[in-house]
Structure 1
Amino acid sequence: MKLLRLKLNTDFRSLQAGFEVHFLRDFDKAKMWDFMPYCLVGRNGSGKSNILEALAAIFYHIECIYLENKPEGFEGEGDFNHIHTDGFFAEYCSPDAFELEYIHYHNGSYSDDYSSDYDISYDAHILISKKINESPEILWLNREELGRGKEQKLSRIEVKKVLPDYVIGYSSGENEILSLPFFKMRFLHYDEYEDALRNETGYSQPEGRLVYLDNQYSQAVFLTNYLMQDEKILLPIYRAIGIKSIKQFRIIIRQGVPIAKYRTEENVSALRADELEIDNKDVFELTYNLKKRPEVLATELKAIDKLKNCATSQFFDAENKVLYLDFFIDPDHRNEQGELIELSEMKKAFQGNFESTFELFRTFQILLTLNLYEVDVQLKQDLYKSGSLYVNETVPKLPSDKRVMRFKDFKIEKEGNRDDISIKSLSDGEHQYLHAMGICLLFKDTNSLFLLDEPETHFNPDWRAKFISTLKDCLNQPEKRNMRELLITSHSPFIISDSHEENVLVFKKNDETRIVTVERPGFNTFGASVNQITLKVFEKHETIGGFANSVYDELYDRLEKGEDPDILIQIANDRLGDSVEKVMFVNKALEKKK
């Protein structure tokens, strides 16, 4: 997808009603399918992160309207504008009135009721419009122009075809506003799985498109990419950190967590199923949908069966019903020049059992989602209805031995270390770099929207300088359309310097009126110096820290009072490093001598 425009017609966070941002402008459309992430910049509190939060909230709202699988009590009852119960209503969203336009690339992979020619690709111009206290409308604006029918308003089935494949959220800090809709979606994913278990309908993957990949997914993302991706794509990331290989890891899966088969009043109020006085015949084992059933053909393997097929060794603790899977990864085979000849047996095993990179990640995602099993029904219902930014703090975190799935003994080979080290030994910056890049790589072939909030926070200057170029090396598809849309908020002038002017959006808030505006920088940012960007974008005239700058203020004051310029120049040379500020002071002092 490619974003065109977002207009907010009600206040949202620090953005006032009437705020509008244009992404892809008409004169930039020739480069629409190039790799061109948007860089949203501005001072703290200027509203740049609110754009990510608004987009996440909008797509969460649309998802909740069109999901087929929603838990009991999720939706409100009655007339929203009159008497109603608490719960989700299509008529209310935050923001509650907006217009969102984007281009959705249709590649001809699904049937079309309006044409027998299913293989035609086209760019659908989509408008999602919502007015206060009304349900959103989703229109296909150029439908008739493309010969796909005359009715602009899309049906329920059609809407699902023009939404992004996934909306991926990530923040290197603690942005509770951005994460809230994704956090709720995790519980919708869990309830969907549990309902499929009770209804015995089977389960393959979550229906909801929102995915928030915080640090609890970091090992899953790293493993998936390492085992399934082409190493040429991975090399720019691994070289930056010095990672040579993954040596081993363990997956521990609890297979004794009971889930009540029927939703009785007693069961609904209970904290978890294993506290109930129920017979074994009235419970399901939580991972039941992820294992092959005895009566099913051996070729129809489920997620856990496939992991077992790949494991070097396995052990089942029958007393505690815990499965231990150990994976020892042999090295790839290379020639004398270091070129890859043959993949390791472990990589072959994973690529033979899992059809795609995404299938393996989905396996990890589902198993990690099951760690939410102990959250009781009432707490989940409160969570779905809550707009509190602290709602995630009300959800208890399971101790490791209670989790359905966890990783352990994760060892890597890293340059500069004689022995293999634990993955947990990586620095915060190394973790964030590996994770942020890995997320983008994982979803690189999807028609998705990435919302990355300050991903470079823990990066050193070198990684910040290389962030965009490394992303491009990993994700750019010169012979294909780059269907992904990336929005990155940042304070880094290095990232701006690697972005073209049309892809940089500068947010400013008026100190008196509190009105937020957004505009392009007005100069060529690509290749511009850090000093120029700091001055023009962040309006910071100093190139040094505040404390050091105060020393110059003192020296200027002493100079104006008539002290000897030579002595003051000597003080500056002794106490302060080289900078533009030093050159300016020395020049001023020399002028005084004249």
Structure 2
Amino acid sequence: MKLLSLEIDSQYGSIKSGFKLQFRIPYDNLNHSTQDWKHFHPFCFAGLNGSGKSNVLEVLANIFYHIECCANVSQPEMFITTFDPSSAKPSAFKLQYYIQRDKGFSKEVNDLTLVTVTKKENEIPVMQHQPFPFDSKPIPVTVVAEKYSKIQAEAKKYLPDLIVGYSSGENEILSIPFLKTRLIHFDEYYEAVKNKLAYNEPESSLIYIDYEMSQAVLLSNYIFQDQKVLDPLHTELGIKDIKRFRMNLNLHPEDSIGILSRYQTVIDKFKSCSTSYYEDKDHIILDFWINPKTKDAFKLNFEDGIFELFRAFQILYTLNYKMVSEGIKSDVYESKGFYTDGKVPNPSPEDKVFYFLDYYIEKEDKITKEVSLLLMKNLSDGEQQFLHTLGICLMLRDKTTLLLLDEPETHFNPDWRSKFVQILQKSLEESGSNNMMKDILITSHSPFIISDCFPDKVIVFEKGKQPISAQQMGFRTYGTSIDIIMENVFKKNNTIGDKSKDEIDKIQVEIKNKKSLTKAQVTELKNKTNHLGDSMEKILLFAKLNQLEK
């Protein structure tokens, strides 16, 4: 999948009506403008807080959520009766992207089709597609399914396999469509249980990676990936492997419907992979000690690979929403604005259907080389973020995916920020990832990340203005000094903090109108900065003082 352009014709957060963003140059058979599509080139949205960069991720998540809701047919009755296909947020937009027609593994542009989705105020979205070479008359695509026919709308074929959201800062607005999707997933499953129907996987493509889901991501990677793909996690974090974990399933026998009754086949697979398990009328507890034989058992039972295992964990996590009342679900489904924390209750372990226990990893000390066992929750915020973002990208290597990563580097130290893009690229290359199948959008305040992105992929946001690429600014970001990036992107031209800079500025003001200074005066002024470290600001001050000295 490759994004082409986005237009928004209604107000959304910091985004004003008339917003336009060109992600890349449209395909041109003459200049072969798609050559870089086959290579790893993430987009980096950069700008000050409130400039609208995170809003673009939210808009994209909302657009795909709305199209999914129109095209899908397995939504619960409560959702169907409240959902209005003509009402969306944003309410008017135009989105264009290229996507593989057969969702296969081709790395050639002639396997793509151009998809255009347009929505006007109070109207149902319209979708069209144009097969390669994208110069034919657009072909209309049905967007809204006949809900009770159980036949998806044709639009489903032209949507990505997955829309994945992640926010290190817990961007609640970004998570809204994903939260709604989780509740829909639960009700889909619950209705299958009530009606004794088969249930294989959620119909919707939206996945939000929070702390609990990231445990499933990490575990799936360490079971299925080759060691060379995971080497960066060992090199940078010292993580060698998953050592052991426990799966706890609460059966809730007081609930006559039998919450896990439609999932017995998958639970049996987990039993076959476990080192030991215990079962009674209330619980199933499965223990796993991870070694090569355990990994072989998982690969034998989950034949479709890493994503099949992740899906199994995802569905089990979804069942934890069983305690959410019908009233709360209705409020969430009908929410058109800013959803607030706390409305969906956080269940206790006893109320959950599934959770991990004793999730231990092997971690090597970089200095002593001593290996110790740590609970995953004992890792620092930065280490967990590193695991989350890298693990997500690796796990989805064979899926047509749009990845929306909101400030994934917030808790990284400077060294990790400078390495992040390179490590991500190397790991994806080792895993054999097909870059034609995905687009990665990263919002960031880190000049290190911007310095590793090409200027046509760095989109600079400024409040009240249309975003433009660094290339359009004539600004070569790739390999550019972080000081220059700070000045051009974040309008910050000093290299030190404002408090210390203020002391240097006061001296600059003091000598501003001086024509000359005595040696003693120069020495006295320089001594005023003895407590300050070296910086470009201090060097410039000393140069000015030396110039004024008689």
Please report the TM-score for the alignment, with normalisation by the length of structure 2: 0.90
1:54/1:366 Cα in 2 relative to 1: closer, same or farther (>3 Å)? Answer: same
Which of 500-509 and 386-395 deviates more? 386-395
1:539/1:134 Cα in 2 relative to 1: closer, same or farther (>3 Å)? Answer: same
Could you give the per-residue CA deviations for residues 448-477 of structure 1, whole angstroms, max 9, x where no partner exists?
A: 100000000000011111111111112237
CA contact (8 A) 2:454 2:478 kept: yes
Could you give the per-residue CA deviations for residues 549-587 of structure 1, whole angstroms, max 9, x where no partner exists?
A: 111122223444778121221222x21111111111110
CA contact (8 A) 2:460 2:469 kept: yes
Paired-residue identity, %: 41
1:175/1:234 Cα in 2 relative to 1: closer, same or farther (>3 Å)? Answer: same
Could you list the runs of 5+ residues in structure 2 that have no partner in the other structure?
146-152
Equivalent-residue separation in structure 2 for 1:233 and 1:525 (angstroms): 28
What's 1:188 paired with? 184
What's 1:17 paired with? 17
- The residue identity in structure 2 corresponding to 1:327 is F
Equivalent-residue separation in structure 2 for 1:245 and 1:161 (angstroms): 38
CA contact (8 A) 1:449 1:484 kept: yes
Q: Does 1:99 align with 2:94?
A: yes
1:44 counterpart SS class: coil
Counterparts of 1:435-474 in structure 2 under 5 Å?
435-474=388-427
Counterparts of 1:188-337 in structure 2 under 5 Å?
188-258=184-254, 274=255, 283-291=256-264, 302-318=265-281, 321-330=282-291
Q: Does 1:2 align with 2:7?
A: no
CA contact (8 A) 2:397 2:432 kept: no
What's 1:492 paired with? 446
What's 2:502 paired with? 550
Equivalent-residue separation in structure 2 for 1:465 and 1:222 (angstroms): 23
CA contact (8 A) 2:382 2:413 kept: yes
In the TM superposition, what is the alpha-carbon distance from 1:180 to its structure 2 partner?
0.4
1:178/1:122 Cα in 2 relative to 1: closer, same or farther (>3 Å)? Answer: same
- The residue identity in structure 2 corresponding to 1:326 is D
1:317/1:200 Cα in 2 relative to 1: closer, same or farther (>3 Å)? Answer: closer
- 175, 193, 197: which is aligned to 2:171? 175
Q: Does 1:363 align with 2:312?
A: yes
- The residue identity in structure 2 corresponding to 1:541 is N
1:408 counterpart SS class: strand
CA contact (8 A) 1:507 1:518 kept: yes
Counterparts of 1:66-215 in structure 2 under 5 Å?
66-76=71-81, 87-107=82-102, 122-142=111-131, 151-154=139-142, 157-215=153-211
Q: Does 1:507 align with 2:451?
A: no
1:105/1:418 Cα in 2 relative to 1: closer, same or farther (>3 Å)? Answer: closer
- The residue identity in structure 2 corresponding to 1:9 is D
- 468, 484, 487: which is aligned to 1:518? 468
Equivalent-residue separation in structure 1 for 2:349 and 2:213 (angstroms): 15
Q: Does 1:36 align with 2:20?
A: no
- The residue identity in structure 1 corresponding to 2:100 is Y
- The residue identity in structure 2 corresponding to 1:48 is K
Equivalent-residue separation in structure 1 for 2:109 and 2:526 (angstroms): 72
- The residue identity in structure 2 corresponding to 1:201 is L
In the TM superposition, what is the alpha-carbon distance from 1:305 to its structure 2 partner?
0.6
What's 2:149 paired with? none
Could you give the per-residue CA deviations for residues 345-381 of structure 1, whole angstroms, max 9, x where no partner exists?
A: 1111111111110111011000011000011112111
Which of 345-354 and 19-28 deviates more? 19-28
- The residue identity in structure 1 corresponding to 2:249 is I
What's 2:148 paired with? none
1:197 counterpart SS class: helix
- The residue identity in structure 2 corresponding to 1:395 is V
What's 1:353 paired with? 301
Equivalent-residue separation in structure 1 for 2:203 and 2:348 (angstroms): 28
Which of 230-239 and 189-198 deviates more? 230-239
In the TM superposition, what is the alpha-carbon distance from 1:150 to its structure 2 partner?
7.4
Could you list the runs of 5+ residues in structure 1 that have no partner in the other structure?
77-86, 111-118, 259-273, 275-282, 292-301, 331-343
- 387, 390, 402: which is aligned to 1:434? 387
- The residue identity in structure 1 corresponding to 2:140 is Q
Equivalent-residue separation in structure 2 for 1:224 and 1:474 (angstroms): 15
Could you give the per-residue CA deviations for residues 248-273 of structure 1, whole angstroms, max 9, x where no partner exists?
A: 11111112355xxxxxxxxxxxxxxx
Q: Does 1:397 align with 2:397?
A: no
Could you give the per-residue CA deviations for residues 497-555 of structure 1, whole angstroms, max 9, x where no partner exists?
A: 1001111000112xxxx444434342211111111111111111101111111111222
What's 2:482 paired with? 530
CA contact (8 A) 1:47 1:516 kept: no
CA contact (8 A) 1:4 1:25 kept: yes
In the TM superposition, what is the alpha-carbon distance from 1:290 to its structure 2 partner?
1.0
Please report the TM-score for the alignment, with normalisation by the length of structure 1: 0.84
Count of aligned pairs: 522
1:175/1:120 Cα in 2 relative to 1: closer, same or farther (>3 Å)? Answer: closer
Equivalent-residue separation in structure 1 for 2:138 and 2:21 (angstroms): 29
